[in-house]
Amino acid sequence: MNTTNNQISITKRPIAWGKIGSYAILVVFAIIYAGPLLMLVNTSLKTMPMFMKDATGITTVFHFQNFVDAWTKANFPQYLLNTVIYTASATTIYILTAIFVAFPIARGYVKHSGWLLTMFVIALFLPPALIPQFQLILSLGLYNNPIGYVMLFIVNPIGIVILVNYIKTVPKELDEAAALDGCGYFRFIISIVLPLIKPAIATVVVLHAIGIWNEIIAPTIYLTNKDYYPITRGLIVFQGVYGSNWPTLAAAVLMLTLPMLVLFLFLQRYIISGLTSGSVKG
């Protein structure tokens, strides 16, 4: 038997240092981003004596009473209902209007559509005009009014930019085919364009809703009646009264972040495709 023919050559695979380094970086970033959230959860499950004894230690007893106290003492039901109404109404109005603004710009059906898109891009880098905005709300008689507060959030340039660039990926031949079949403009947008741009809509919904949900400056300026407070403004009141009770305050903050986290997890499969297509097209 010829040993040279039967010799099995063993080749060692090179160590993929690049892949290992990439995973290491991802783990580091995951710890950086998830660390504060895990610490918040850990704090919210402690009793006050446990927190005073060891603020950073891992809790051994789950004290869920903090969530009950935060829910009742912070008037969470009223503030949460206000926030849901503000977020849902403003986001719905914005999405419907943004689609009808973005479509003719994306198709070039309006004059100087390229310049219009450029103006929306420039608006991304401009600071909010708080003083003219405040004077406008006052002159309209909408100060300390939920309607006036919702009107503050029906304009957002980033959503227009994402929708315009995503609509450009939709074949223009669909417009011509719909016109030949006698499909009206509004029916075409609702029946054909809307289902095709779901990833972009999901992306804009999440970005817009999170912005409204976490807004703290606008309710502090425009809402003075406690019955109209959103959850962020109510949390300031709660912090002023129970600021020394850190476990209960951590439970309140955790309940504040939970709805947007659920929304993100529910729409995450659309978000990445919407952001990538909306950022490289056009």
Q: Given this model, what pLDDT does residue 242 score?
A: 64
Number of domains in the chain: 2
Give a yes or no: residue 137 inside a domain: yes
My answer on whether 46 and 72 are in the same domain is no
Q: Given this model, what pLDDT does residue 150 score?
A: 94
My answer on whether 24 and 118 are in the same domain is no
My answer on whether 150 and 36 are in the same domain is no
Q: Given this model, what pLDDT does residue 9 score?
A: 47
Q: Given this model, what pLDDT does residue 239 score?
A: 72
Of 6, 39, 63, which marks where a domain is finished?
Answer: 63
My answer on whether 36 and 173 are in the same domain is no
My answer on whether 166 and 252 are in the same domain is yes
| pLDDT by 10-residue block (mean), the chain, 282 residues | 48 69 84 84 88 83 85 83 94 93 90 89 86 91 93 90 89 84 84 87 89 90 91 81 78 85 76 55 44
The residues, any chain, with a CB within 8 Å of residue 43's CB and separated by 6 or more, are 51, 55, 246, 247, 250
My answer on whether 250 and 128 are in the same domain is yes
DSSP percent split of the chain into helix, strand, coil, nearest 5: 75, 0, 25
Q: At what angle do helices 65-73 and 231-242 cross, to 10 degrees?
A: 110
My answer on whether 59 and 70 are in the same domain is no
My answer on whether 124 and 239 are in the same domain is yes
Q: Domain of 101: which CATH number?
A: 1.10.3720.10
My answer on whether 51 and 188 are in the same domain is no
Joined tokens for residue 49: 């004596």
My answer on whether 255 and 164 are in the same domain is yes
CA distances to 120, 167, 189, 192, 193 from 185, in Å: 24, 15, 6, 10, 10
* Residue 140, amino acid: L
How many whole angstroms separate alpha carbon 168 and alpha carbon 177? 17
End-to-end CA distance of the chain: 68
Q: Given this model, what pLDDT does residue 272 score?
A: 65
Give a yes or no: residue 111 inside a domain: yes
Of 63, 79, 96, which marks where a domain is finished?
Answer: 63
Q: Given this model, what pLDDT does residue 276 score?
A: 57
Joined tokens for residue 43: 């704090």
Give a yes or no: residue 112 inside a domain: yes
Give a yes or no: residue 77 inside a domain: yes
How many whole angstroms separate alpha carbon 74 and alpha carbon 126? 35
Q: Given this model, what pLDDT does residue 212 score?
A: 92
Give a yes or no: residue 143 inside a domain: yes
Give a yes or no: residue 49 inside a domain: yes
Q: Given this model, what pLDDT does residue 279 score?
A: 45
Give a yes or no: residue 28 inside a domain: yes
Q: Given this model, what pLDDT does residue 274 score?
A: 55
Joined tokens for residue 45: 């499950």
Burial 76-99 (b: 16+ CB within 10 A, else e): beebbebbeebbebbbeebbeebb
At 96-136, the pLDDT tens digits run: 999 999 999 998 888 888 899 999 999 888 888 888 899 99
Residue among 208, 215, 198, 259 nearest 90 (CA)? 208
Q: Given this model, what pLDDT does residue 115 score?
A: 92
How many whole angstroms separate alpha carbon 147 and alpha carbon 214? 18
* Residue 279, amino acid: S
Give a yes or no: residue 174 inside a domain: yes
Burial class (CB in 10 A: 0-12, 13-18, 19+), 233: buried
My answer on whether 59 and 72 are in the same domain is no
Domain that holds residue 30: 17-63
My answer on whether 264 and 184 are in the same domain is yes
Q: Given this model, what pLDDT does residue 281 score?
A: 44
How many whole angstroms separate alpha carbon 202 and alpha carbon 273? 10
